[in-house]
Each structure stands twice: as C-alpha cells, then as structure tokens.
Amino acid sequence: MNFLVSEYDANILHAGQHQDAELARFFMRIEFECAPELLHRRVFAERFRTLADEYQMRWQLAESDAKLRVCLFVSQHLHCLADLLQRYQAGELACEIALVIGNHAEGEKLAGFYGVPFVYLPVANGNKVEVEAEQQRLLEEHRIDLVVLARYMQILSEEFVAKWPSRIINVHHSFLPAFIGARPYHAAFHRGVKLIGATSHYVTSDLDEGPIIEQDVARVTQGDTIPDLIRKGRDLERIVLSRAVRWHLEHRILYYANKTVIFD
C-alpha cells in the first residue's frame, strides 16, 4: 500500500494498524493526500484492487471531501437530535443532514430551526410495514448514506436492517450488555448500580447486540433518584452518539466479528 501511494507523490497524514491474534486478522487504515491532478480515484482503485486480490485483502477507499448524507430518526425525546443538529451547524460533523424522520411530531420545530426537512410518520397498530416502506422510499429519494437513531424508540424489522448493513447507528441508554431493552435506567436504579452508562452501536437484527462503537459512564450514588439517573444518562447518550457518528463519517471504524476497531 505504502509503495503504491508513494508513486502518486502522496503525503501520508495518518496511519494506524491493529492485529487480532486470536482470529489471525490484521487491520490497517491509511489517510493520505496528493494533488488532485495526480490521483484519479477510479484508476487508483483499480490498481489497488489488483494488489488486494493478490493478498486476499478486504478493502475500501473513501474520499474525505465527499460528505455522507445522513437521516436522523427520532421519537419524543429530543436531546440527541438537538445535540447532533447543533454540532452539525457548528461544523463538527462533516456530513449533510438531509432529513429527520419522527414517529412523534415533537421534533418538527427543532429540525425546522436548523433548516432540515422533517417528515412525521406515526407508528400505530398494524401500520409498521407501511411506515418502513415509506421510510425506505424517503431514504432513497434523499440519497441517504447513513441512518442515525437519535433515541428512536421503535424496533426496526430484520428486512429494514438488512438493507443498511453497518449503516445504522443507534444509541442505547445503558452500558451494554447490561440492561438491554426498554427502561434501563429504572432497571439500573432497582439493581442499585454505582455506575450508569450509554452505548452507541451499529444496528443488527439482534436487539441491542450490534457491534459496539463507543461507551461512557457516570458515577451514581444511593441518593440519586430515577430522574437523576435519566438526567445523567442523557448527557452520556449525547456524547457517545456524537462520537460514533463522527467516527463513522471520518471512516475511522472497521467492523468485524460483531466488534469494531476504532482508529485514531
């Protein structure tokens, strides 16, 4: 790889690697730059494909200036939506947030404040198939690359998830694998934990068991009530979700064997 990059008079900005000795796998990420007139993406990709085939490598090539298009799914809790939209406006997320889809109407004013289109698709008894079909249509119409579940409190079907492998990021209000499913702060309170956490992960067909991207924790005491846990937990949710989204947008995540490698 380095030899091929050097032929284009490129400058390596970052290089990272990781070895999983147990699975006998080696991972590498190289970020480089060169003059646009010297590097044609398609030509470079074809040349690297030959090299990769020789060594039986799995690989991908991405351009840092090509911004991914993002859709945010949200329910009635708006703290993660607000955080992502604010970071987006501040230039912290190198993407284009093209759409917000909500199964509650509360997010419409917030999305409108940031100039992002909002579509209200309520989920009621018996209409989940129709709602997901409309969501898929909207994602295609808006040419979405990444779906972010910003506290979207609906379980996506296996058929939906299968169309977006490693392209749906969720935030779970618990330090997984503890307290999966609904009402984890209540479960943590009744268990008497001393730490609470939040987890961002890729969505798979197994509920709350996708590859973990980021986690963080906060200390709690016997004096904390359930509302205290929820308040502290929401701060963690904002942090771990925004980190996961940013790392995905910067192509820093490799996903394998239901685990992730995060490159600096």
Q: Taking the domains of the chain in order of start, what are their residue ranges?
A: 2-54, 68-262
Q: Which amino acid is at 257?
A: A
Question: What whole-number percentage of the chain has pLDDT above 70?
Answer: 94
The residue count of the chain comes to 264
* pLDDT reported for residue 201: 97
* pLDDT reported for residue 8: 66
* Active site residue ranges: 208
The answer to whether the CB of 262 falls within 8 A of the CB of 255 is: no
* pLDDT reported for residue 207: 83
* pLDDT reported for residue 128: 92
* pLDDT reported for residue 38: 57
* pLDDT reported for residue 61: 85
The answer to whether the CB of 32 falls within 8 A of the CB of 4 is: no
* pLDDT reported for residue 191: 87
Upstream peptide bond of 177 is cis (omega within 30 degrees of 0)? yes
* pLDDT reported for residue 1: 58
| DSSP code at position 67 | P
Stretches in the chain below the pLDDT threshold 50: none
Average pLDDT, the chain: 90
Burial of 195 per CB tally in 10 Å (0-12, 13-18, 19+):
exposed
* pLDDT reported for residue 214: 97
Pick the CATH number of 68-262 from 1.10.599.10, 3.40.50.170, 3.40.640.10, 3.40.190.10: 3.40.50.170
SS3 (DSSP) at 29: strand
Burial of 35 per CB tally in 10 Å (0-12, 13-18, 19+):
exposed
